[in-house]
A and B are shown apart, each in its own frame.
Chain A
Amino acid sequence: MKYLPLIWAALKRRKARTILTFLSIVTAFFLFGALQSINAGIDSVMDFLNTSRLRVMNRVSLGQPMPQAHVARIAALPEVSAVTGIAIVPGTFQRPNNVQVALGVDLASMFKMYPEMHVDPQQLAAALRNRSSVLVGKALADKEGWKIGDRIPVHSFGVSKTDGSLDWTFDIAGFYDMDQHDFASNILANYDYINEGRASGKNLVVQILVGIKDPSHSAQVAQKIDDLFANSPNQTVTQNEKDFVSSILRQIGDISFLVNAIVGAVLFTLLFLTANTMAQSVRERIPELAVLKTLGFSDGTVQMLVLVEALIVCVAAGAVGLGIAAIVTPLVISLPGQGIPPMHMPRIVFLLGLLTAAVLALVSGLPPAQRARRLQVAAALSGR
């Protein structure tokens, strides 16, 4: 601690250079934190998904609806344990940027299919009794401060009601929670309420969720479902949840590889930048370091001063960058209503980031620190 004024003085020696280096490290670690948060978020979504549930979509495209009649035909298959069609009312709640999506489903089947979704049976029964009732994810309800009995208006983007209005009202009958609390962020409504209330698209579903009895046969059941509609005008494509999300992600590319490649390139560049800055800083201070040695500072102490200087800059800037990423990432990267919660930075990413910053400091600081250690006092003082 007593050497801190010396280290601080060294950092203040070229303020502009220190600030610019600090900012470049902040930026790099912000990127590191944000990208690793996305990676971690995708991993947690993938963990949540499983192969015992299938998603049935229109073969034409993801957004193309299918007849609701498909649901009953799928339900008749002996391998199927539960089925629900999905109708969607996307809209906003109170503020234009507060996007909320009400999913019209068969609530009973939904909770049967998703054992990781927990609901009070009485609240589920209440929701089933009243068609305008909804069950709201606890994370969303906590965020909005909603209570049971509240009536929530959702101003739809495009799903108009039979009376021409775009305003849908839902009565909160209860809440559901999930093992991963942040995932409990949907509004689950009764399909019939949305289906009967909407002016167009009646008896259509955008997706069908299918629970199957034996997950090891998911591929065969998926094929069987698609075969059911092979000769219909609304052919289907069926995948288990995990394959479904993977196929979407594959369209974007190997996100994990891209993220790691970008982070690696940034850190590699940063290593050169920091090493160059530290080398320059030590080169300029050769006479001062020689004076410290003259006054009795050992080779090891001088080396330690240079290394700690690098550590302070890198770790402090890294912590700031990671801190900004931890705050900003969940605000920017979230898909409300799609079952994908805000992507929070896991603690391990923060710790990994700090460790990376420390390694960066040691690797970039070691050559100049070694130079400071090996400095011959008499030669340095005479300018040799």
Chain B
Amino acid sequence: MTAVVELHNVVKRYIRGKQRVEVLHSLDLTVEAGEFLALMGPSGSGKTTLLNLIGGLDRPDEGEVTVAGERLDKLSGGELARWRARHVGFVFQFYNLLPVLSAERNVEVPLLLTKLSRAQRRQNVLAALTLVGLADRAKHKPAELSGGQQQRVAIARALIADPTLLVCDEPTGDLDRESAEDILNLLKILNQKQGKTIIMVTHDPRAAAYATRRLYVDKGRLTNEPERTAA
């Protein structure tokens, strides 16, 4: 197995008001290719911050972040943007689709950064929408789709450029149970049948159960077990 994600001694601090708050403390993490990792933990524990560092959306204050063979903490802003386009697919809690674009146009957006022709882009979009079971809703705008369908479109958009890593931040947090299960099954299929490496942040233990490994983030540190509060 090869490591897709390697974090060593990662420290992240934020300035809140006049205070400098350390959100992640000397954190180490390795994620192997083909893993489906669930990151759990209470609100404010640093899950999303960790996910942002792995996805190249933010930079550590200290330590090394290596993802898909690239030292992200060494890349410039432009290099990081190009790296994200090539290696990471993002799925958000609130889908973050562009409201005025149809489903197919939303899925096509990452491909605008490639050299693919319009016909090739269209072909890939159709394949991605078929994969998530929404080929027949290609022309619909996000507002015309249910939450579950919007999240499927978001997953299709995340997959369209065939990224090394899929990063999901509470992907079922805004969905009813049935839709959530659909999405989690879809992620499981992508992990098991297509070998996609997935890192998912969730509060929901039922969602985390779909992952092959679970880690807990608490007060900026990673553990294998949730911290138990004394009775």
Chain A contact residues, CB within 8 Å of chain B: 2-3, 5-6, 9-10, 12-13, 287-288, 291-300, 377-378, 381-382
Contacting pair B77 A292 (CB below 8 A)? no
Contacting pair A3 B57 (CB below 8 A)? no
Q: Which residues of chain B are near A287, meaning CB under 8 Å? A: 96
Q: Which residues of chain A are near B99, meaning CB under 8 Å? A: 13, 288
Q: Which residue of B lies closest to A298 (CB)?
A: B81
The distance from the CB of B144 to the nearest CB of chain A, in whole angstroms, is 15
Q: Which residue of B lies closest to A11 (CB)?
A: B100
Instruction: Name the one of B49, B52, B100, B118 contacting A13, with C-beta atoms under 8 angstroms.
Output: B100
Contacting pair A291 B81 (CB below 8 A)? no
Q: Which residue of B lies closest to A291 (CB)?
A: B96
Known: A2-B118, A297-B81, A297-B113. A9 touches B100 (CB 8 A): yes
- In the assembled complex, the Cα of A62 lies from the Cα of B198 at a distance in Å of 91
CB 8 Å contact bits of B158-173 with A (1 = contact, 0 = none): 0001000000000000
- In the assembled complex, the Cα of A295 lies from the Cα of B84 at a distance in Å of 7
**Is residue B139 contacting chain A, with contact meaning CB distance below 8 A?**
no
Contacts A6-B109, A288-B98, A294-B55 aside, 12 further interface pairs with beta carbons under 8 A come to A2-B112, A2-B118, A6-B101, A9-B98, A9-B100, A13-B99, A293-B81, A294-B84, A295-B85, A296-B82, A296-B113, A298-B81
26 contacts between A and B (CB under 8 A): A2-B112, A2-B118, A5-B101, A6-B98, A6-B109, A10-B100, A13-B100, A287-B96, A288-B98, A293-B81, A294-B55, A294-B90, A295-B85, A295-B113, A296-B81, A296-B82, A296-B86, A297-B85, A297-B113, A298-B82, A299-B77, A300-B78, A377-B52, A378-B58, A381-B57, A381-B96
Q: Which residue of A lies closest to B52 (CB)?
A: A378
Q: Which residue of B lies closest to A10 (CB)?
A: B100
Q: Which residues of chain B are near A381, meaning CB under 8 Å? A: 57, 92, 96
Instruction: Name the one of A2, A5, A299, A377 contacting B78, with C-beta atoms under 8 angstroms.
Output: A299
Q: Which residue of B lies closest to A15 (CB)?
A: B100
Contacting pair B78 A295 (CB below 8 A)? no
Q: How large is the interface on B (under 10, 10 to 19, 20 to 34, 35 or more residues)?
A: 20 to 34
Q: Which residues of chain A are near B101, meaning CB under 8 Å? A: 5-6, 9
Known: A2-B112, A13-B99, A291-B98. A296 touches B84 (CB 8 A): yes
- In the assembled complex, the Cα of A2 lies from the Cα of B109 at a distance in Å of 10
**Is residue B105 contacting chain A, with contact meaning CB distance below 8 A?**
yes
Q: Which residue of B lies closest to A2 (CB)?
A: B112
- In the assembled complex, the Cα of A297 lies from the Cα of B113 at a distance in Å of 7
Q: Which residue of B lies closest to A373 (CB)?
A: B77
**Is residue B195 contacting chain A, with contact meaning CB distance below 8 A?**
no
Q: Which residues of chain B are near A382, meaning CB under 8 Å? A: 48
- In the assembled complex, the Cα of A299 lies from the Cα of B78 at a distance in Å of 7
The distance from the CB of A129 to the nearest CB of chain B, in whole angstroms, is 74
- In the assembled complex, the Cα of A294 lies from the Cα of B99 at a distance in Å of 16
Q: Which residues of chain A are near B52, meaning CB under 8 Å? A: 377-378
Contacting pair A5 B86 (CB below 8 A)? no
Instruction: Name the one of B78, B105, B109 contacting A292, with C-beta atoms under 8 angstroms.
Output: B109
- In the assembled complex, the Cα of A381 lies from the Cα of B86 at a distance in Å of 20
The distance from the CB of B60 to the nearest CB of chain A, in whole angstroms, is 12
The distance from the CB of A354 to the nearest CB of chain B, in whole angstroms, is 28
Interface centre among A3, A6, A294, A300 (most CB of B within 10 A): A294
- In the assembled complex, the Cα of A296 lies from the Cα of B110 at a distance in Å of 7
Contacting pair B110 A295 (CB below 8 A)? yes
Q: Which residue of B lies closest to A288 (CB)?
A: B98
- In the assembled complex, the Cα of A300 lies from the Cα of B80 at a distance in Å of 13
